[in-house]
Structure 1
Amino acid sequence: MSELDDWSDDNTPDMGEASEYDPPRDGLAALIARLAHVERTLAGITRGWSPLRQAGITVTEDGMTIDSSLTVDGDLMSTGDAAFGGTLQVTGDAVFSGDLAVPNGSISNEALQNPIEEGAIGYSTSNFAVTTTATAVATRTMNIPDGFTKASVMVIVSIGAWNQSASSGYLLGRATIDGSSGGAVQTGVGAGGYESVTASAIRTLEDLTPGGQITVQATCWATTNFGASTTNSVNIDAIAIFRR
């Protein structure tokens, strides 16, 4: 017999209610009948007749335990601690007046209002000519992540070259981001000498095409034709923070 069977017509506790066919109850007989009704009701609750118990709700001195679902159609206020061992789904707004502490990595990047992605480039090459015409001696591209249309990009370039001409001159270099160049940096190089320059650029780009590319370059030139050398070298480092 299940606990629900205890509520069948044959087992329903006598509630002690008189009907129009019951003989009048008064005096000691009525009192005994009422006490018997209370005793049967308490016994039924102990054996599981309670509707709360049938719903998986038990009450002890330590509090209330609900082993089934709980639906609250009105306001729910807790002035003490609340612990959830399973999934808590909130379909409306949630307001926290205090600190919210969550484990590292528990909130995905996609769930943030302003998620970010990162990109980086490190590249070196050598063996190029340095002429009096500004020339990109290193060019690299960085992929734009899907769903992102903005980026903050920083590029640092270092260029070293031999002056193989018979006269002194200046070596100049600059960094470029998507066609927008930073300021040129120069240094004097004596005839037959070697020097290097380091330049940088920082740009904030908007209206980018997701899945497209950002181009960064290192450009150099000289006031005299330094010529080509296998030891002429360039290094380009770039980092980008992509935003939506």
Structure 2
Amino acid sequence: MVNAILGMGRDLPQRLNAIEARLRDLSTQPILLHASTGQDGGQGLSTDKNGLHLFDPTGAESVTLSTIDGSANFNGNVNINGNLSVPNGSISNAALQAPVSPLAAHADASAFALYTGANVELARITVTVPAGFTKAAISATAIMNARNTTGSLDSAYLTCTINGAGNGWSAQVDAAAGNVAHLTKVITGILNPVGSTFYITAAASSGLATWTVDSAKALNLDAMILFYR
């Protein structure tokens, strides 16, 4: 109370000291240790020593920001309009929706001829890229059996290409007349970007003369493709 004789100034120092003491007490208290929007059961937010809590219209907790371990839990959709940066390896494939998409493909040919000069395409696989994928890892193998029908020693050649680009060829040199040449060619590659479609081919040729059509000529082209984003 104010001393009536000494006036209001008599209590002013004591009041200032009391205010300073209260400010010191407040400065050591956690900010928003306990607070809420005042809504009881239903949409709103609250804070306590464990963190920040957001509630949906049903009263269920939809977001929790923890002050215990720094974690954040969202029980609904999260829209991020900027870039999301996370440590490498922190998101597993199991947590992603279709991170990769495999495809096995096949093409074949039979009863064909082999001609001298440039390799002639015998089989083609045309691949349609699944929506949302931008890269493809490709491994393709061509296997050919071809009888030498020329009547003399000759050679056979086999190659594979991805979108027309190859990596050499396989050859059987000096195949005896009447014998069957066995050739295998493997090609691997990565397309980035992959586009909407691409193709894989197998092509072959002979060395000195045409190997005419017969039933002992067959070719199989098999590809394993892994699409990823």
* TM-score grouping bracket, smaller chain normalisation: 0.5 to 0.7
Matches of 1:72 and 1:208, distance apart in 2: 40
Map 1:109-124; keep pairs closer than 5 Å. Answer: 109=98, 115-124=99-108
SS of the aligned residue for 1:129 comes to: coil
Residue number among 157, 176, 181 corresponding to 1:190 in the alignment = 176
Q: Is the 8 A contact 2:144 2:182 kept in 1?
A: yes
User: In the alignment, is residue 174 of structure 1 matched against residue 174 of structure 2?
Assistant: no
Q: Residues 145 and 181 of structure 2 are in contact (CA less than 8 Å); yes or no, is this contact kept in structure 1? A: yes
Matching residue's letter, 1:77:
T
Give the aligned CA root-mean-square deviation in angstroms: 3.7
2:97 is aligned to 108
Unpaired stretches in structure 1, ≥5 consecutive residues: 1-53, 57-65, 110-114
C-alpha distance in 2 between matches for 1:88 and 1:136: 54
Please say if residues 107 and 124 of structure 2, whose CA atoms lie closer than 8 Å, have aligned partners that are also in contact. no
CA distance 1:156–1:88, shift in 2 (3 Å): same
Equivalent residue in structure 1 for 2:206, among 219, 222, 226: 222
Does residue 199 (structure 1) correspond to residue 185 (structure 2)? The answer is yes
In structure 2, the residue corresponding to 1:128 is in which secondary structure? coil
Distance, in Å, in 1 between the alignment partners of 2:178 and 2:212 is 11
Aligned to 1:192, the other structure's residue is in SS state coil
Structure number with the higher strand fraction is 2
Q: TM-score, normalized by length of structure 2?
A: 0.61
Q: Does structure 1 residue 149 correspond to structure 2 residue 139?
A: no
1:199 aligned partner, one-letter code: K
Larger-Rg structure: 1
Runs of 5+ unmatched residues, structure 2: 1-39, 43-54
Q: What is the match of residue 77 of structure 1?
A: 67
Identity %: 21
CA contact (8 A) 1:183 1:201 kept: no
Q: What is the TM-score normalised by the length of structure 1?
A: 0.57
User: 1:232 is matched with which residue: 201, 217, 227?
Assistant: 217
Report how far residue 55 of structure 1 moved.
4.8
How far apart are the structure 2 equivalents of 1:94 and 1:179? 38
- Which among 106, 118, 127 is matched to residue 111 of structure 2? 127
State how far apart, in whole Å, the 1-side matches of 2:79 and 2:224 are: 38
Change (3 A) 1:146 1:96: closer
3-state secondary structure, aligned to 1:171 = strand
1:137 aligned partner: 122
| Matched AA of 1:206 | N
Q: Which residue of 1 aligns with 2:6?
A: none
From the superposition, tell whether residues 187 and 95 of structure 1 become closer, same or farther in structure 2 (CA, over 3 Å). Answer: closer
Residues 91 and 191 from structure 1, CA distance in 2 versus in 1: closer, same or farther, beyond 3 angstroms? closer
